[in-house]
């Protein structure tokens, strides 16, 4: 069920000391203030200055003032997040932000192993709806995890069961200001359209939608864990790089599963549905040693090298 901020913090058990990713918006300002109240002297903050809009300097100023008010050590990192062809600017900024957060924490605070970020229940719903609109598979429908590990750090989203409006109400009750991102009102962005137009309709039609959507995402995540285990077993069977004859011994669905897994863990690339289907067709056609295969997949090409497949970033 949806939680209050205090309930969410009661269920949050980070290693101490820990860091908070502080943007200066309402969500991260509430996270920092609540964490400082619960763990005084144990909280640090990192602000990432993207430089993507004129308001960025105002966010930094707010973060500096808030951390001074709370006696919280603050690191500021500036990033320039240029996006690759086919990549959204939002995705590029997100990846640059997490990389800069990890670099700042590991460089300046080697005793910190946990980082809290402020995504909440509405963010999770928006992520799920975007995934559905794109025809995503289970990884997309699983949306964002509440906890995960990356780059030697433990990452946490303690507000996952808290509606965004509850965080703003909590700040207002305490007279705490935040900076409103002017891009939040720009409905050219899909998330903003969902927030402004879809969530109010869902709340009216399905009052418990945050809880039920979160359960669906959790079910998808659990199912994906099982599929990942199957894919790892199949990859051990077909080899890395995959042997074509071993692939052909699997069902088409298992071939798709293991090829996605191989490309993700070995090359950090993901094929589109159309690319994967074409790759499966080509694998099925590899009945002779002379059959050539050179297929665009992700940001590179899958090619045949004798009895095996390999991937090249060209």
pLDDT digit string (tens) for 256-267?
Answer: 999 999 999 999
- Provide CATH 3.30.465 ranges for the chain: 239-312
The sign of the torsion formed by the CA atoms of 201, 207, 209, 210 equals positive
Q: What is the mean pLDDT of residues 110-125?
A: 96
- What pTM value is reported for the model? 0.87
**pLDDT band (50, 70, 90) for residue 97:** confident
pLDDT at 249 over 80: yes
Question: What is the rounded CA–CA span in Å between residue 81 and residue 223?
Answer: 33
Architecture of domain 5-207: 3-Layer(aba) Sandwich (3.40)
Query: Residue 314: what pLDDT?
Result: 73
CATH topology of domain 239-312: 3.30.465
Mean of per-residue pLDDT scores for the chain = 91
291: left (phi over 0), alpha (psi -120 to 50) or beta: beta
Residues ≥6 apart with Cβ < 8 Å to 95? 81
pLDDT at 125 over 90: yes
User: CA dist 231 to 149, 247, 257, 261, Å?
Assistant: 20, 12, 6, 6
Residues ≥6 apart with Cβ < 8 Å to 168? 26, 30, 178
- Provide CATH 3.40.50.620 ranges for the chain: 5-207
For residue 133, how many other CB atoms are within 10 A of its CB? 10
pLDDT tens per residue across span 8-48: 999 999 999 999 999 999 999 999 999 999 999 999 999 99
């Amino acid at each position: 069920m949806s939680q209050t901020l205090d309930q969410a913090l009661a269920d949050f058990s980070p290693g101490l000391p820990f860091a908070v990713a502080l943007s200066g918006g309402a969500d991260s300002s509430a996270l920092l203030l609540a964490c400082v109240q619960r763990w005084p002297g144990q909280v640090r903050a990192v602000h990432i200055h993207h430089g993507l809009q004129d308001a960025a300097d105002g966010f930094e100023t707010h973060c500096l003032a808030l951390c001074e008010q709370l006696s919280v050590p603050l690191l500021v990192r500036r990033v320039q997040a240029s996006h690759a062809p086919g990549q959204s600017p939002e995705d590029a900024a997100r990846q640059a932000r997490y990389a800069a957060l990890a670099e700042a924490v590991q460089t300046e605070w080697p005793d910190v192993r946990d980082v809290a970020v402020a995504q909440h229940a509405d963010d999770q719903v928006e992520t799920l709806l975007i995934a559905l609109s794109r025809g995503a598979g289970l990884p997309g429908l699983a949306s964002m995890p509440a906890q995960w590990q990356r780059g030697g750090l433990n990452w946490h989203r303690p507000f996952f069961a808290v509606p965004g409006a509850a965080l703003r109400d909590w700040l207002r009750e305490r007279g705490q200001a935040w900076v409103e991102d002017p891009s939040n009102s720009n409905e050219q962005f899909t998330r903003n359209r969902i927030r402004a137009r879809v969530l109010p309709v869902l709340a009216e039609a399905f009052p418990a939608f945050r809880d039920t959507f979160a359960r669906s995402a959790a079910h998808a995540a659990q199912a994906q864990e099982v599929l990942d285990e199957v894919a790892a077993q199949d990859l051990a069977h077909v080899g890395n790089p995959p042997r074509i004859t071993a692939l052909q011994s699997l069902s088409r669905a298992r071939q798709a599963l293991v090829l996605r897994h191989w490309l993700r863990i070995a090359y950090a690339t993901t094929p589109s549905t159309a690319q994967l289907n074409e790759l499966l067709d080509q694998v099925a056609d590899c009945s002779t040693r002379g059959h050539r295969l050179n297929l665009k997949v992700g940001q590179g090409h899958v090619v045949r090298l004798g009895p095996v497949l390999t991937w090249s970033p060209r």
